[in-house]
Copies of this chain bind each other. A is one copy, B any other.
Amino acid sequence: MEVTRKSFKDCLNLVYAAIEEADFLAIDGEFSGISDGPSVSALTNGLDTPDERYTKLKKHSMDFLLFQFGLCTFKYDQKDSKYITKTFNFYIFPKPFNRTSPDIKFICQSSSIDFLASQGFDFNKVFCHGIPYLNQEEEAQLREQTEERRSQQANGVGTPSFISPSSKGPAHVPDEHKDFINRVVEKVEALFVGTDKTVDLEPCTGFQRKLIYQTLNWKFPKGLHVETMEIDKKERFIQVSKVDEEEKKKMEQQKLEKEQGQLNDAVGFSRVIHAISKSGKLVVGHNMLLDVMHTIHQFYCPLPEDLQDFKEVTMCVFPRLLDTKLMASTQPFKDLISNTSLAELEKQLNESPFKAPQIEAAEGFPSYNTAKEQLHEAGYDAYITGRCFISMANFLGSFLTPPRAYVSAQSKLVEPFYNKLFLMRIIDIPYLNITGPDLQPKRDNVLYVTFPKEWKTSDLYQLFSAFGNIQVSWMDDTSAFVSLSQTDQVQIAMNTSRYAESYKIQTYAEYVQRKQQEKEKLTPASKSWMEDGWVKSHYAASGASGGFGYSRALRKRSGSPTVAEQGSPEAGDGWSNYSFPDNAGSKKMKTDEVVESKTSEGWLKTSDTKESFGSSPVLEGDGADPVKDTEGTLSWQQASADAAVPARKSQKNKKKKSEAAGASTSLFEVPEVW
C-alpha cells in the first residue's frame, strides 16, 4: 500500500493496527545517496574497527535523505499455517511546516538517483507528496512555540517575533497603521450592533495582525473570538466572531485542537517509527545498519558521536533487531548460501534444503509476485526480507528432534541472531553487536605501513614480496594495512624496516595504541552515555510531549532478555582470535566456556553468552506454539554434518577453502555487493 502525504492521516490507524497484531516487522529504506565523502571502497576499509566504521558512516552518509520507507508486518495464522502480510510503502519528504520550521538540506548522489530511476522509482511521489516528519527535538520545539504563541494571543501580545517590553496596556500603533487599525475597530463595533455573527478582516501583514490582536484584546476583553485564517497558504486574514463566554471557550478549544492536529501532521511519519518502537516487536532488515542509522537520525535525534552511545539509542528505538544478511552469513546458513544479496538470498531460500514459506497478503494489501521482481521498492524489499527471515527461521526447526516446520520470531532458536547488524566488507568482524562489546580480532598478522604518496599497491607488493600472499587495505594516500599470511613474519618485517627511510612499519597493536592515545588527548574525560544523563533528560522531555515515551521503551527494554545484565570478561580456551576490551563501555561480559571453535563457524557463538540469552550454543528448540518451548538437542556442528546434500557439498568446499586461505584473516567472507 502506497502512503503519501494525502493518505497518511487516513492510513495511520491501519498502520498502528498492523504493527499491533504482527508477530514481527520487516523494514527497508531507500536513500538519496550512500557516501558523500570517499568512494564506497575507501569508506569501508577491510580492517576498520566498529568504532571507525560507525564514525565514517555517520560522517559520510547521514546527509542523504531516507525518502522511502518500507514496512511489512507479518502475522502468523495458526489455523492455516501461513503468514498474513500488510505492506506499506511510505514516501518521505521534509516539507517545511511553517516559515520558522527548519529548512532541511539533503544531498543527492547522482549514481544512487540514477540507479533508482532505472528501477522506475517515482520521485514526484517523494518530492510532491512525501510525508513530513520531525525528530524529537524539533517536535518539542514546535510544541513549545505553539504553546507560547497561544498564551500570547490569549494575552493579546501577538506572535513571539513581535514581543516588545511595552506590550501591556493599549497597543502602541505606529502612525502609518492608525487608519488601518481604526477601520478594524469600526468594523468590530459594527459587528456588535449588527446581526452578522462574524466578520472577516482584509488580509494583512503579521505586524498588522499583532496590532489587531493587541487592540481588540484591550478594547473588547469579552464577547469576541479572534482567529487568524489562511487562504491557500499565502494570504492570512483575521476572522472576528461575536460570542458569549460559553461559545468563546468552545471556539478556543476547537482552535487548540486544530493546532494540535496540525502539530501531529508535522510530526508525520515519525509517528510510525514511534509506534514500531513502542511495540517492542522484532524488526527484521537486510544489511540494515544504514537503515537503522538513518531512521534514528531522521526521526529521533542526530546520531551521537560515540558508538557506545549509538548502541544505547538503538536499543531504545529498536529493542529487538535482526539482520537477515548477518543470519544468512552465519552457520548453519553460511555453508548453504553462496550469495547473500537480497535477491539471490530469496532465490536460494525457495530451494532445497529450504522451503518457500506460505505467505498471503491481507485483504486490500498488495500481493507481491516474487517471480516479477520489484526490488528496490522499499515495501517490496521489506516483504522479501521478512520472507527470507521466515525461511531461515523455519529451517532452524529442522534441527530439532522431532523437526518442526514452523519456528516463530520469538523462538529461542532465533535469539542468537538478535541485535547483531551486518558489517559490510570488514575482513574479520562480521557484525556490530548492539547489546554488548564488539569482537576484537587480534590482527597480529597485520602491519600498519606509512610511505611516500607516490607509492602504489604494486610498491607494497614489491616490499613484501618475500612473504608470499599479502592483503592490502588502503587507509589514505600515504598509509595502508598489510595483512601477512603468517603471524611469525611480522617480526621479520619489523626488523627489516628499522633501517628503512622511505617507509615505516608498525604492528597493528602499536597502531591501535597510538590511536587510543590520540583519542584520549582529544577527549580527556570520557563519560558514558547513561552517566551524563543525555538519555534521561532528552527522553524525559520527549516523553512529556505525549506522542511517545522513551521511558516506557526503556522499561520494556530492560525487561527483555536482550539487555539482561552481563558478566565480566574472562579469557576462555577458545579466545585465540578475539578478545574483549577491558573497558568495554559500561557493560561487562562473561565469556562462554563451551566456545571452542576459532573459525568462522564459531564467531557468532563467541559473543552469545548464557546470561544474555538464557541459551547456550547447544540449541534449545521451540514448538509450533511460540509460548511453549520444547528442548532441542543439536549443536550447529552436528547440524551441518547432518544437513541435506548441498550442505555436505559446500562443507567440503569450505574445508578446502580454509586450508588454502591460511589462518586468521579469512574468517569471514566479505560480500561483493553493497
Which residues of A line the B interface, CB within 8 A? 32-33, 36, 65, 93-96, 103-111, 113-114, 116-117, 121-124, 126-128
Contacts and interface: CB of A to CB of B under 8 A. Distances in A.
Given A114-B96, A117-B127, A108 B109 contact: no
Given A32-B108, A103-B111, 17 more contacts: A33-B105, A36-B105, A93-B113, A93-B114, A94-B110, A95-B114, A96-B111, A96-B114, A103-B109, A104-B110, A106-B107, A116-B127, A117-B127, A117-B128, A123-B126, A123-B127, A124-B124
Nearest to A232: B118
A106 B106 CA distance: 8
Query: Which of A117, A121, A122 gathers most chain B CB within 10 Å?
Result: A117
A160 to B, nearest CB: 13
Contacts of A121: 128
The 7 A-B pairs of least Cβ separation, nearest first, read A117-B128, A123-B123, A104-B110, A103-B111, A94-B110, A123-B127, A95-B114
A117 B93 CA distance: 11
Contact of A105 (B94, B103, B108): B108
Contacts of A104: 109-110
B95 A105 contact: no
A295 to B, nearest CB: 18
A107 B63 CA distance: 9
26 contacts: A33-B105, A36-B105, A65-B108, A93-B113, A93-B114, A94-B110, A95-B110, A96-B110, A96-B111, A103-B110, A103-B111, A104-B109, A104-B110, A105-B109, A106-B107, A106-B110, A107-B108, A108-B108, A114-B127, A116-B127, A117-B124, A117-B127, A117-B128, A122-B124, A123-B126, A124-B124
A673 to B, nearest CB: 13
Contacts of A116: 127
Contacts of A117: 124, 127-128
A43 to B, nearest CB: 12
Nearest to A120: B128
A593 to B, nearest CB: 42
Given A122-B124, A123-B124, A108 B106 contact: yes
A514 to B, nearest CB: 33
A463 to B, nearest CB: 16
Contacts of A93: 110, 113-114
Query: Which of A105, A109, A123, A126 gathers most chain B CB within 10 Å?
Result: A105
Contacts of A113: 93, 127
Contacts of A36: 105
Contacts of A106: 107-108, 110
A186 B96 CA distance: 65
A96 B123 CA distance: 18
A51 B566 CA distance: 62
Nearest to A112: B103
Nearest to A122: B124
A104 B104 CA distance: 20
A539 to B, nearest CB: 27
Nearest to A116: B127
A262 to B, nearest CB: 16
A96 to B, nearest CB: 5
B105 A110 contact: yes
A109 B108 CA distance: 11
Nearest to A114: B95
B128 A123 contact: yes
Query: Which of A108, A110, A116, A121 gathers most chain B CB within 10 Å?
Result: A110
Query: Which of A36, A93, A116, A128 gathers most chain B CB within 10 Å?
Result: A128
Nearest to A94: B110
A340 to B, nearest CB: 20
Contacts of A96: 110-111, 114
A126 B124 CA distance: 10
Nearest to A117: B128
A105 B105 contact: no
Query: Which of A104, A106, A127 gathers most chain B CB within 10 Å?
Result: A127
Contacts of A107: 105-108
A111 B124 CA distance: 15
Nearest to A63: B107
Contacts of A32: 108
Nearest to A32: B108
Nearest to A34: B103
A197 to B, nearest CB: 34
A105 B37 CA distance: 10
Nearest to A233: B118
A435 B107 CA distance: 35
A352 B243 CA distance: 49
Contacts of A111: 96, 103
A107 B32 CA distance: 10
A126 B123 CA distance: 9
Nearest to A106: B108
A294 to B, nearest CB: 16
Contacts of A126: 123
Contacts of A127: 113-114, 116-117, 123
A176 to B, nearest CB: 12
Contacts of A94: 110
Contacts of A95: 110, 114
A264 B350 CA distance: 46
A155 to B, nearest CB: 20
A234 to B, nearest CB: 10
A107 B109 CA distance: 9
A96 B112 CA distance: 10
A126 B114 CA distance: 10
A235 to B, nearest CB: 15
